């Protein structure tokens, strides 16, 4: 895989084979608890960074986890991924236990707003105006990029128009532009797993996915993952999507606290350390952009 034009704000990613594995953070935290398999035992003398935070389950930050590495995934009774690891730091810093609930991209937001089973959800969620009408968003962490997965390594919209049937996960920020442009050749899928099955079996000739996710999903296959070259016909190729945590919209104190921690870690290098375990550090959203992101 190659690319002559670098991703906005980043070098081309080269995710390690071990990036999908559970990562030991090894970061020195001021004080409180150490992460355990599914929860962390909070020390009696732990002092939270923010007082009087509330969660759906008292004393526990409940985190929704879809299977979507490198952002999130389950590992036995534990969870892992860049999004998860950062929330482990949040829980430790705020003297909270941490618990995980499985979610999908179809039910994730409802798990916060309707079922009240998750305070915050992981998985590389894009910040969009439509989603911001349903949930809160924390300060963002990183960019993503639209990728084309194909046998021939195509990377332009013109090539996409000629390749044949193209799959894409539902809900991506490029969906409206891509479906209008591709017409009947555009096929919508629940997610990466279903798209990959049809791509491997020849039912589609290319798929559109998030770049970091696709690199892991297609590692070891004959398919190539390329970030799409900027093209005004698909707006997201010129304005890359921003990733953040969807969070309870009725718990502003929790959202503000998580955002303040993320912004501090952006400045002191902790965010880069966490994302660097997954080779995502070069995609960090800079402070000036984060300050104007939808919340």
String of DSSP letters for 172-210: -TTHHHHHHHHGGGEEEESSHHHHHHHHHTTS-SEEEEE
Higher pLDDT, 77 or 3: 77
Cis preceding-peptide flag for 70 (omega within 30 of 0): yes
Query: According to DSSP H, which parts of the chain are helical?
Result: 82-93, 108-113, 129-132, 157-163, 175-182, 192-200, 211-217, 252-268, 270-276, 287-290
Identical fold between 17-143+241-290 and 146-237: yes
Mean pLDDT of the chain, nearest integer? 87
**Mapping DSSP to helix (H, G, I), strand (E, B) and coil, where does residue 226 land?**
strand
35: tokens are 């992460």
pLDDT bracket for residue 38 (50, 70, 90): very low
> Which sequence spans correspond to the domains of the chain?
17-143+241-290, 146-237
- pLDDT tens digits, residue range 264-273? 999 999 999 9
3-state secondary structure of 6: coil
Question: Is 17-143+241-290 assigned to CATH 3.20.20.140?
Answer: no
What pLDDT does residue 171 have? 79
Strands 166-169 and 206-210, bridge-based pairing: parallel
- Residue 155 structure tokens: 């990377």
Q: Look at residue 76 in the predicted model and tell me its pLDDT.
A: 86
CATH code of 146-237, in short, is 3.40.190.10
Please tell me the predicted confidence (pLDDT) of residue 190: 86
- So what's the pLDDT on residue 279? 85
Instruction: Decide if 228 contacts 155 (C-beta within 8 A).
Output: yes
């Amino acid at each position: 895989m190659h690319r002559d034009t670098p991703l906005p704000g980043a070098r081309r990613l080269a995710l390690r084979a071990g990036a999908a594995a559970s990562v030991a953070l090894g970061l020195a935290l001021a004080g409180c608890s150490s992460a355990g398999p599914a929860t962390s035992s909070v020390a009696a003398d732990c002092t939270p960074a923010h007082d009087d935070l509330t969660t759906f389950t008292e004393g526990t930050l409940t985190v929704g986890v879809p299977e979507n590495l490198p952002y999130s995934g389950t590992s036995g009774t534990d969870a892992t991924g860049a999004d998860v690891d950062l929330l482990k730091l949040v829980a430790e810093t705020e003297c909270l236990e941490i618990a995980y609930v499985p979610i999908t991209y179809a039910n994730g937001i409802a798990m916060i707003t309707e079922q009240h089973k998750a305070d915050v959800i992981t998985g590389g969620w894009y910040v969009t105006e439509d989603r911001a009408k349903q949930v809160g968003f924390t300060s963002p962490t990183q960019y993503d990029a639209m990728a084309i997965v194909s046998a021939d390594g195509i990377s332009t919209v013109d090539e996409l128009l000629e390749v044949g049937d193209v799959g894409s996960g539902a809900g991506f920020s490029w969906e409206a532009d891509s479906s209008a442009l591709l017409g009947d050749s555009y096929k919508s899928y629940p997610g990466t797993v279903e798209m990959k099955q049809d791509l491997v079996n020849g039912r589609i000739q290319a798929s559109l996915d998030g770049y970091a996710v696709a690199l892991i999903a297609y590692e070891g296959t004959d398919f190539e993952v390329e970030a799409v070259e900027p093209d005004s016909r698909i707006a997201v190729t010129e304005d890359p999507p921003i990733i953040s945590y969807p969070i309870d919209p009725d718990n502003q104190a929790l959202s503000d606290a998580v955002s303040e921690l993320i912004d501090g870690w952006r400045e002191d290098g902790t965010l880069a350390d966490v994302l660097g375990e997954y080779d995502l550090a070069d995609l960090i959203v800079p402070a000036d952009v984060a300050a104007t992101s939808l919340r």
